[in-house]
Amino acid sequence: MKKSTRIGILLAVLVIAVGAGLAQWLVIRNDDVTKAASGLITSVEIGGPFALTDHTGKQVTEKDYLGNFTLVFFGYTFCPDVCPTELGDIALALDELGDDSVAVTPVMISIDPERDTPEVLSQYVSLFHERLIGLTGSPEAIKQVADAYRIFYKRVDDPDYSYYLMDHTSFVYLLDPEGNVASLLRYGTSPEEMASIIRQHMRG
């Protein structure tokens, strides 16, 4: 075998090995989220501490919401379609839970802190649910919490106009009273399904 052929084979093996490793890593990452979604494990590294400002202007951290279940949605107020739909579904899920809904705190974290000041959020949240909490913060604080929850978001400018929109991951997380992710509710989960998943976790 020529030397160049041997090097060629060696390179090919190396490429395949790296590729396989990468694929494995991706599968594991995907698996974490899937397991969290089905509620099999709760100790995956999603979520974590944050320091933000609520819609009343109060400084808050994740500790403020411990003791209750929390539904966390990442969105923005300049979003006329997906966010109102998702927040409407959260409100319906809480209705579905009846008296048990007091054990659940609905929270929207803005991924558009530039426009979503506490004042803007305070007018917005009450349209959906009397107990919905809006959270915003500095761009850095929002980046930190979005990364912790594996939320992708990106500003998209329209060259024709002066406004912009946001691309964003549309996840609703259910956190247990200890603040751990108990379940991941993907966009399109019906209010009835949401309520049923929350009930399952309430029963333990």
What does the binding site for another protein look like in residue numbers (CB under 8 A)?
A: 77-82, 84-85, 87-89, 91-92, 95, 119-120, 123-124, 126-128, 152, 156, 158, 161, 163, 165, 167-171, 186-188
To the nearest whole angstrom, how small is the minimum distance from the Cβ of residue 38 to another protein?
A: 16
To the nearest whole angstrom, how small is the minimum distance from the Cβ of residue 48 to another protein?
A: 19
**Smaller CB separation from another protein, 45 or 49:** 45
Residue 21 CA to residue 3 CA, distance in Å, equals 27
Helix or strand (DSSP H, E) at 183: strand 181-186
To the nearest whole angstrom, how small is the minimum distance from the Cβ of residue 102 to another protein?
A: 17
**Smaller CB separation from another protein, 7 or 187:** 187
Q: Which residues of 33-51 are buried (b: 16+ CB within 10 A; e: fewer)?
A: eeebbebeebebebbeebe
To the nearest whole angstrom, how small is the minimum distance from the Cβ of residue 146 to another protein?
A: 12
**Smaller CB separation from another protein, 98 or 204:** 98
Q: What is the full DSSP assignment across 39-52?
A: TS-S-SS-----EE
**Smaller CB separation from another protein, 19 or 188:** 188
Residue 17 CA to residue 104 CA, distance in Å, equals 46
Tokens representing 42 are: 């709760």
**Smaller CB separation from another protein, 42 or 169:** 169
To the nearest whole angstrom, how small is the minimum distance from the Cβ of residue 115 to another protein?
A: 8
Let me know the angle formed at the C-alpha of 116 by 111 and 121, rounded to the nearest 5 degrees: 110
